[in-house]
Amino acid sequence: MSVHPNNPALKSWIEVPQNSDFPIQNLPFGIFKTAQSTERVGIRIGDFVIDLKVLFVLGYLENLPFELSDFDNKYLNSLMEKGKKGTRDLRNRISKLLDSNFTDLQKNEHHVGQVLIPIDQVTMCMPVKIGDYTDFYSSREHATNVGTMFRDPANALLPNWLWIPVGYHGRASSVILSGQDIHRPKGQIKPDPNADPIFAPCRNLDFELETAFITFDGKALGDSISTAEAEDYIFGMCLFNDWSARDIQTWEYVPLGPFLAKNFASSISPWIVTMDALEPFKCDGPEQEPKVLSYLEFEGQKSYDINLSVNLQPENGEENLICRSNLKYMYWNMSQQLAHHTVNGCNIKCGDLMGSGTISGPTEDSYGSMLELAWKGTKPLKLSDGTERKFIQDNDTVIMRGYCEKDGVRVGFGEVKAKILPAK
Ligand code: CA
């Protein structure tokens, strides 16, 4: 008997708190360690982590294309090398082992004790060894807001924007795990437009609310991935805060685009939610007009209904909800981004990370950056402790969360969180 792992009726014999991001219908992958154990692959359910290394050693993962080293590993890359089918079969197997209707693991108390680890006993680690990092610029609302502020409200979108999923190559070395604090970057800024630039700590530090997807191995150099094939090359998604130094960016970005304003840190959430788990939350995206070129055309639903939020927490203060957005607002979907990325023959690799670009919605409370929320500093945000923010201050913590919800099932990402420390 086989039950689809996304079936809303599925229940696990492991208790999952109501409103948890991690019911049996999710089963995201991550890397964790404990006081007693080295880094290894885990799957999250409720407030527990399933130790896949131990599960493998105990013989529960037989007849799957994996070996011990795929689970006894500092990264998910080795597991992701098995591609869509291998990782799908693995998630299906875990789903069955955790399903209340199946007793194989459930009945073996001794094994359960070895495999199931309470979340408060684990330390999460960087899930993926990221090869290349690409960031897109795919929210029409965000691009329009930025164009309005910095160029011309009448021509806010540049002429190419409605034709090309605009992107740039970022830097993988500074993609870091949620929870790692970041020192305020320093660089060249030009606070007085009529004077020479100065070297100083960034004054306009910002977050960017994004999601990111992680790829499987792509095709050979010279080949392209179509929009119809794209989802077969995507393992899963995480939350992504693409930290940005707006004053450094303003001075440096012409003519080649972002450089030091963007490459000092980008934070990701620790659990990679598979595209399989997100399948029930597909939806239509915005209508695309003018009609896109043929290699960007697609069939069916390629957007995802993922609720996103940003909270800002001052030191010793409470969280302030400052933004609610949704991935469904994105103009260019992930399949189009990947098709565009490879249309020239560029090869993607297992473990590449692709950022969505800042995800702004249509309303002022759905803008995905401080730049937009406080409208270039002209509308400071008021926090519950009485202070105001135009940008992020030292010792502020930014927390992003995301989840999907449908038919009584909530599939979420947890959070990506980081605190800004003073400049070194
Ligand atoms: Ca970005």
Say yes or no: 14 and 91 in one domain.
yes
Residue with tokens 């190419």: 160
Amino acid at residue number 152: D
Tens digits of residue pLDDT in 172-228: 999 999 999 999 999 999 999 999 999 999 999 999 999 999 999 999 999 999 999
- State the average pLDDT over residues 37-42: 98
Residue with tokens 């875990």: 94
The pLDDT value given to residue 2: 58
Exposed e or buried b for every residue in 152-176, given b needs 16+ CB within 10 A?
Answer: eeeebeeeebeebbbbbebbbeebb
Say yes or no: 311 and 255 in one domain.
yes
- What is the rounded CA–CA span in Å between residue 209 and residue 212? 10
Say yes or no: 276 and 350 in one domain.
yes
Say yes or no: 98 and 152 in one domain.
no
Amino acid at residue number 303: S
Asked whether residue 3 carries a pLDDT value surpassing 80, the answer given is no
- State the average pLDDT over residues 156-168: 96
- State the average pLDDT over residues 351-368: 97
Residue 372, token pair as written in the block: 């937009």
- Count of the separate structural domains present in the chain: 2
How confident is residue 143, by pLDDT bands cut at 50, 70 and 90?
very high
Collapsed DSSP state (helix, strand, coil) of residue 153? helix
Is the backbone peptide bond immediately before 280 cis, with ω within 30 degrees of 0?
no
Say yes or no: 101 and 44 in one domain.
yes
Decide which of 67, 97, 125 is a domain's last residue.
125
CATH number (domain holding residue 110): 2.30.30.230
- What is the rounded CA–CA span in Å between residue 342 and residue 68? 33
Phi, psi dihedral angles at 277 (to 5 degrees) = -70, -25
Q: How far is the CA of 207 from the centre of ligand 1 (A)?
A: 9
Say yes or no: 142 and 118 in one domain.
no
Say yes or no: 113 and 165 in one domain.
no
Q: How far is the CA of 212 from the centre of ligand 1 (A)?
A: 10
- What is the rounded CA–CA span in Å between residue 344 and residue 129? 25
Say yes or no: 305 and 224 in one domain.
yes
* Alpha-carbon distances of 285 from 116, 156, 288, 334, rounded to whole Å: 39, 21, 9, 11
- State the average pLDDT over residues 227-239: 98
Q: How far is the CA of 348 from the centre of ligand 1 (A)?
A: 19
Tens digits of residue pLDDT in 366-383: 999 999 999 999 999 999
| Annotation marks residue 4 as catalytic | no
Q: How far is the CA of 240 from the centre of ligand 1 (A)?
A: 9
- State the average pLDDT over residues 312-339: 98
For 341-396, list the strands marked E by DSSP: 353-355, 381-382, 388-389
Decide which of 108, 125, 142 is a domain's last residue.
125
CATH number (domain holding residue 156): 3.90.850.10
- State the average pLDDT over residues 105-113: 97
- What is the rounded CA–CA span in Å between residue 208 and residue 355? 10
Is the backbone peptide bond immediately before 159 cis, with ω within 30 degrees of 0?
no
The pLDDT value given to residue 412: 98
Q: What percent of the chain has pLDDT over 90?
A: 98
* Alpha-carbon distances of 302 from 337, 359, 367, rounded to whole Å: 11, 16, 22
- What is the rounded CA–CA span in Å between residue 56 and residue 59? 5
Residue 115, token pair as written in the block: 């495999």
The pLDDT value given to residue 340: 98
The pTM of this model reads 0.98
Q: Which of 110, 111, 142, 340 is catalytic?
A: 142
The pLDDT value given to residue 310: 98
Say yes or no: 83 and 177 in one domain.
no
* DSSP code per residue over 102-120: --TTTT-HHHHHHHEEEGG
Say yes or no: 36 and 163 in one domain.
no
Q: How far is the CA of 324 from the centre of ligand 1 (A)?
A: 17
Asked whether residue 1 carries a pLDDT value surpassing 60, the answer given is no
Asked whether residue 154 carries a pLDDT value surpassing 80, the answer given is yes
Q: Which domain holds residue 203?
A: 133-421
Say yes or no: 331 and 413 in one domain.
yes
CB 236 within 8 A of CB 144: no
Cα 422 → chain centroid: 26
- Kindly calculate the radius of gyration of the chain based on its CA atoms and give it in whole angstroms: 22
Cα–Cα nearest to 94, from 138, 133, 48, 161: 48
Say yes or no: 118 and 152 in one domain.
no
Q: Choose the weakest-confidence range: 110-124, 143-157, 308-322.
A: 143-157
- What is the rounded CA–CA span in Å between residue 213 and residue 167? 14
Q: How far is the CA of 361 from the centre of ligand 1 (A)?
A: 15
Decide which of 125, 153, 169 is a domain's last residue.
125
Q: How far is the CA of 326 from the centre of ligand 1 (A)?
A: 16
Residue 158, token pair as written in the block: 């540049």
